[in-house]
Structure 1
Amino acid sequence: MTALARIRQALFALAAVFIIAVTGHHILTGGSWLSSVHYFVITVSGVGYSEVSDTPPELQLYSIFVILIGMFVVGYTITMLLQSMIEGQIYRALGIRRMTQEIEHLSGHTIICGLGRMGQTLAEEFASREEPFVVIDEDSDKALAARAEGTLIVTGDALDEESLLAAGIKRAKVFVAALRSDADNVFLTLTARNLNPKLRIISRGELPATEKKLRQAGADDVVLPAVIGARRMAAMVTQPHATELMDLMVSDKTLRADLEELVLPPECPLVGQSIRGVALQANHQILLLGIRRSGGEMLFAPHADTKFTAGDALIALGKQGDLRVFRQAHGL
């Protein structure tokens, strides 16, 4: 039985004893309802009342019954409340400690600063892709809700170095500055870059003029939601069908389509083969959109005779199941 169920049960029992005691006293004495309530309170609390010796036996027996049952129920209710409060504190402390230990063992993860609308969407996407990540947010209510869903979260100010270190910034691979204020994101980007020079930093900016400042502070990539939103709206007007397809890919879970990067290690059997020889679309139902060479060159819609090399990142579009089978078949 959960703590809430025990509390509910105790309160129900207390309410039942109260109703029975007050109603019974009212019937036996014929007094007012206020007197009956007063009788219950002073009897159960142990204060006592001036009861004369010529009280009818039935009322004396009834008083004994109310005292015994009332003391038990009130004691049980208070015990359940205290137990629930103590258990809540213990479980919270154990949960934070366990979460801290899990974060300490993470490496190569992503840190999301800010659990606003953008941060929550990022967390949902990473969770669906089983990508390890840690969230930093100072809102205790949001942190409690996220922790209940199994999200690794550090409750604290993201601008504080201690919070960043607690999230494992020294071992992280990607850092996302998604705070609401541009000034805070600039400061946060600068702090993160100083703590981990090798970190890939993606920063959010509201104003286009902030992009330059974020890059100067150390951001590798800058996302401007207002600009992206405007371009998206323009695409809905000029390219409605293409936009609809992209929306279905992103939001329609029945399609289970995904755009994925597949990095080829040196031992991958694809290395040295051509796109024509592998026949991704014919054999694997995967559409190859581009290849990013290990040297940085980006090939869009590469020719069928293009050969794969070690370190290439294949940008492929396909259903999640087909992509998963392809990765397993070629050790990706």
Structure 2
Amino acid sequence: MVRGRLRRRLGRINRSLADQPVHSLVDRVEIPHEVASPWVRITKRIVIAMGVLCAVVLIVYIDRDGYSDTQKNGLSLLDCFYYATVSLSTTGYGDIAPITETARLVNIVIITPLRVAFLIVLIGTTVETLTTESRQAFKIQQWRNKVRNHTVVIGYGTKGRTAVAAMVGDEIAPADIVVVDENPSALERAKSAGLVTVRGSGTDSEVLRLASVQHAKSIIVAANRDDTAVLVTLTARELAPKAKIIAAVREAENQHLLRQSGADSTVVTSETAGRLLGIAVQTPSVVEMMEDLLTPDAGFAIGEREVTPKEAGGSPRHQSDIVLGVVRNQKLLRVDDPEVDALELGDRLLFIRSADSDR
């Protein structure tokens, strides 16, 4: 019983990050946005101020019979402009006030723009800071409500950046990619690339919930250490049992650990790089072609598509596309495998496509 009370008390203390108020997440989640130049922001403020001024002038002019000056005269349109400018600038003339139309025109044309400029310089930065934080909190709330079927990249080092570049080159929108990392410089690079970023460790389940891993379509684990990659994969699989997890591992002997942790696909980075280095000794052009195939936004690339009804029953080796393999029942088979000598509806073809012609 004591243990139950203690567990409930700890549960109240350690609230989930995803359940915290949105304003407390502003320093952890970053939603990309376009940054306008200072002159554009100042111009927008001046335009808004002039719009408000004209609205006040129109209101006063419509009801001008309800106003009078110290000489008990009716208000002209110029008087309405003068009244609006004095009211909006909170000047509130009492004992000293312009009387002639020339003085009032000077007040409108010269003094009022100077007041607006003064207010922009004096409080513009403070107001912008407060409104920026509020806008960011509102964007985070909107994003959390609608983000679904996205891709979470855990680790934005060399592997993570290259993976994101390949996805963007393969026409995946940057808005559908979320980066999780602890390195501030890596997060800054991801944010400059137009990606949503979440600051924290990929081994922390609360950080992954904040990145909406439970709603993700695919998860890329690009950690710098194999033991970290295994722990991240375990945590991600527990939160997203249906998501596709692709994990990178440095050493081949750790590949089975990632499979046991729930990774659907693994990439051994050290062995892959070693093979390419060895091939480059005798046939460097093969390595150049492999790099071309792995670059989806230029030259040739490897694509995947479904078998059409017209192609069903035919051989994959007799298609108009150069077919490399067939995916049947979530299993990849080579093009010369006897099992796929006749294509079936529901099969998927791995083929070589021209990125330039697609574009």
TM range (shorter): 0.5 to 0.7
Q: Which ranges in structure 1 are unaligned for 5 or more consecutive residues?
A: 10-68, 325-332
Q: Distance in 2 between matches of 1:98 and 1:238?
A: 54
Counterpart of 1:209 in 2: which secondary structure?
Answer: helix
Q: Which amino acid aligns with 2:304?
A: E
Q: Which moved more, 1:246-255 or 1:127-136?
A: 246-255
Of the three residues 127, 142, 149, the one matched with 1:83 is 127
Of the three residues 291, 302, 324, the one matched with 2:326 is 291
1:115 is matched with 156
Question: Is the 2:156–2:179 Cα contact (8 Å) retained in structure 1?
Answer: yes
Q: Which ranges in structure 2 are unaligned for 5 or more consecutive residues?
A: 1-34, 44-112
Q: Percent identity?
A: 23
Question: Is the 2:219–2:243 Cα contact (8 Å) retained in structure 1?
Answer: yes
Q: Distance in 2 between matches of 1:171 and 1:191?
A: 14
Q: Which amino acid aligns with 1:239?
A: T
- Which structure ranks higher in relative contact order (CA pairs < 8 Å, sequence separation ≥ 6)? 2
Question: CA shift at 1:270, angstroms?
Answer: 2.5
Of the three residues 216, 230, 244, the one matched with 2:260 is 216
Question: CA shift at 1:141, angstroms?
Answer: 5.2
Q: Which amino acid aligns with 1:5?
A: W
State yes or no: 1:264 paired with 2:307.
Answer: yes
Question: CA shift at 1:260, angstroms?
Answer: 1.0
Q: What is the aligned residue count?
A: 253
Where does 1:131-146 land on structure 2 (aligned, <5 Å)?
131=172, 132-140=176-184, 142-143=186-187, 145-146=189-190
TM-score of the aligned structures, taking structure 2 as reference length: 0.59
Q: Which amino acid aligns with 1:196?
A: A
Q: Which amino acid aligns with 2:301?
A: D
1:101 is matched with 145
Q: Distance in 2 between matches of 1:275 and 1:7?
A: 58
Question: CA shift at 1:211, angstroms?
Answer: 2.3
Q: Distance in 2 between matches of 1:237 and 1:261?
A: 31
Counterpart of 1:150 in 2: which secondary structure?
Answer: coil
Where does 1:63-82 land on structure 2 (aligned, <5 Å)?
76-82=120-126
Q: Kindly tell me: are residues 322 and 287 of structure 1, through their superposed partners in 2, closer, same or farther at Cα, counting changes over 3 Å?
A: farther
Q: Which amino acid aligns with 2:135?
A: Y
2:319 is matched with 280
Q: Distance in 1 between matches of 2:316 and 2:117?
A: 77
TM-score of the aligned structures, taking structure 1 as reference length: 0.63
Question: Is the 1:137–1:156 Cα contact (8 Å) retained in structure 2?
Answer: yes
Question: Is the 2:170–2:296 Cα contact (8 Å) retained in structure 1?
Answer: no
Question: CA shift at 1:288, angstroms?
Answer: 1.4
Q: Kindly tell me: are residues 247 and 297 of structure 1, through their superposed partners in 2, closer, same or farther at Cα, counting changes over 3 Å?
A: closer
Counterpart of 1:310 in 2: which secondary structure?
Answer: coil
Q: Which amino acid aligns with 2:258?
A: L
Question: Is the 1:274–1:307 Cα contact (8 Å) retained in structure 2?
Answer: yes
Give per-residue Cα distances to partners, 1:32-88, cap 9 Å, x unaligned.
xxxxxxxxxxxxxxxxxxxxxxxxxxxxxxxxxxxxx99987654222221332233
1:300 is matched with 335
Question: CA shift at 1:157, angstroms?
Answer: 2.5
Counterpart of 2:342 in 1: which secondary structure?
Answer: coil
Question: CA shift at 1:317, angstroms?
Answer: 0.5
Question: Is the 2:152–2:218 Cα contact (8 Å) retained in structure 1?
Answer: yes
Counterpart of 1:170 in 2: which secondary structure?
Answer: helix
